Structure 1
Amino acid sequence: MQSKRSRPFLKWAGGKYRLLDKLSPHLKGTKLIEPFVGSGAVFLNTDFERYLLGDINPDLINLYQCLKKEKGKFVNYAKSFFTEENNKQIAYLDFRVEFNAGVKGRRRAALFVYLNRHGFNGLCRYNKSGGFNVPFGRYKKPYFPEKEMYHFIHHARKTKFVCDDFVALMNRSRRGDVVYCDPPYVPLSPTASFTSYAAQGFSYDQQVELAYRAKILANRGVKVIISNHDNAITRKIYEDAEIESFPVRRFISCDGSNRANASELLAIYQ
């Protein structure tokens, strides 16, 4: 793990920046595979020889691929959206409509950065039809993460980004690789609402499938680490793994007074 930590350039619910101390001892090897890369907090703060980073969210992977390919040219293009005129609800909603109408390529990637930094609480949320539906955030002056984007570019030189599901990514692992999985967490309670950042969602059966795949890989010499809430459901799902549990403060919540500690765990298959 690097001595000086680097924050991701995207705001991201469930980002693992605050878990780096817990994860660090388990992330040793030549190649890291992340099937749920999210904001890339783990990738950005490790030093593997190679990376295979994937996610089911095509907008996220499109952004990362554009940034890796175009480098500073894309940074400058994305920065052009961060103006006083664009920091108004009417402009935000117009850009969101354009985004949901199916704009492609680098403009879609730049709009994704804009929506991420101007939308409410940095959420990335889609409705069942796949439409991005996060409301305007009303920030005085949204921060453009130029420094963080350049660090991402530097670190992405030895990285391959792919849009695919966790099964496909895990199947590409080989003996000696390390696989870190940060799936959408199970609800804290049976009545808790759960909205996935990907339109496809992530079901209980997929949580079970992920644990099953992890066990198979461990038997083939691939170390797998999975993070999730620590509750009765996950304890059952990960019953074949070594468990490390710890409290983590939740920072993204609609109710600012309700950002209490929640128990999380690492399930380690090796």
Structure 2
Amino acid sequence: MTQRTQTPVTPRPFLKWAGGKSQLIEQYKPLFPKGFKNYYEPFLGGGAVFFYLHQQFTGFNAFLSDINPELINVYCCVRDDVETLIDLLDKHQLKHGKIHYYQVRGKLFRRKKHRAARLIYLNKTCFNGLYRENSKGEFNVPMGRYKNPKICNADLLRSVSEALTKAEINLQPFDAVLEQAKTADDFVYFDPPYYPLNPTSNFTAYSRYSFNEESQKKLRDTFAELSDRNVRVMLSNSDCEFIRNLYKDFHIHTVYATRSINSKGKKRGKISEVVVTSY
């Protein structure tokens, strides 16, 4: 079993996720509300915004959700049984290699904690740390070229477990937040799959759950309905005419991110994104 260290570890994302927001937090800081009682994040992903808010604000209730059942299972296992998960990841660390990787990738585990360990293991050892599924929901990323990947960051997982202790974590579509967030005490942050910048972009192709133009419009309608209730709403998306037109009635801010998930190094670099706020 991995030993505990004495140095406190600040909770932060423990998974590498497409579109993760860790690099953008500094630019987001001036845009966050100054206080709120309830926080909702319907596209949980890596959870960077939640972990930041957890450090900066006290006393709020967190409601975290996503439509990806494997992702939600991981968060629940980290929250509810982190020591068992650490033990399982330590075993993957000892066995890691090409044969073990493809055996784990091709195997479907029934027990929730084994499924959670599988996802973290694959996330830490697959090519470019990219979570991607085919149309059947099967993880299909090849093994990455890492000499000695750190599969189990036990102290980080423990700190994340502590941060999630009182969080409500649900498997549900983004518009389910309409049944929950209803007053000015509520803050909702949407981080959906981004609208593609060109026809060959695969921004929306990381899982079996497609997020097309109609989905973007449904999200805008959800955003608008929450805004009408005086709920404070914040949303991230790609910087393009379609998104700017969708949210033209709200406050649109420009931020700059480094595109890191691309097989061609020359296509990685600074790119503008938008943040929309209702306040």
Tell me the TM-score normalized by structure 2.
0.89
Q: How does 1:152-231 map to 2 (within 5 A)?
A: 152-175=160-183, 176-231=185-240
Count of aligned residue pairs for this structure pair? 263
The answer to whether the 8 Å contact 1:67/1:75 transfers is no
The answer to whether the 8 Å contact 1:242/1:269 transfers is yes
Listed one character per residue, the Cα deviations across residues 61-104 of structure 1 (whole Å, up to 9, x for unaligned) are: 00111111113232222222112x32x222111101113xx533
Across the aligned residues of Structure 1 and Structure 2, the Cα RMSD in angstroms comes to 1.7
Aligned to 1:13: 18
Q: How does 1:1-270 map to 2 (within 5 A)?
A: 6-25=11-30, 26-27=32-33, 28-47=35-54, 48=57, 49-83=60-94, 85-86=95-96, 88-99=97-108, 103-143=110-150, 144-175=152-183, 176-270=185-279
Bigger drift between 258-267 and 4-13 goes to 4-13
Bigger drift between 18-27 and 8-17 goes to 18-27
Return the alpha-carbon distance in structure 2 between the equivalents of residues 262 and 128 of structure 1: 29
| 3-state secondary structure, aligned to 1:60 | helix
| 3-state secondary structure, aligned to 2:53 | coil
User: CA offset at residue 191 of structure 1?
Assistant: 3.8
Alignment-mate amino acid for residue 236 of structure 1: N
Return the alpha-carbon distance in structure 2 between the equivalents of residues 195 and 96 of structure 1: 22
| 3-state secondary structure, aligned to 1:80 | helix
Listed one character per residue, the Cα deviations across residues 243-266 of structure 1 (whole Å, up to 9, x for unaligned) are: 001221112211122212111010
Return the alpha-carbon distance in structure 2 between the equivalents of residues 246 and 77 of structure 1: 39
Alignment-mate amino acid for residue 81 of structure 1: H
Alignment-mate amino acid for residue 140 of structure 1: K
The answer to whether the 8 Å contact 1:170/1:179 transfers is no
Listed one character per residue, the Cα deviations across residues 160-181 of structure 1 (whole Å, up to 9, x for unaligned) are: 1101100113431131100000
Return the alpha-carbon distance in structure 1 between the equivalents of residues 89 and 201 of structure 2: 36
The answer to whether the 8 Å contact 1:33/1:178 transfers is yes
User: CA offset at residue 192 of structure 1?
Assistant: 2.4
Alignment-mate amino acid for residue 67 of structure 1: V
Alignment-mate amino acid for residue 166 of structure 2: K
The answer to whether the 8 Å contact 1:89/1:138 transfers is no
Tell me the TM-score normalized by structure 1.
0.92
Q: How many percent of aligned residue pairs carry the same amino acid?
A: 35
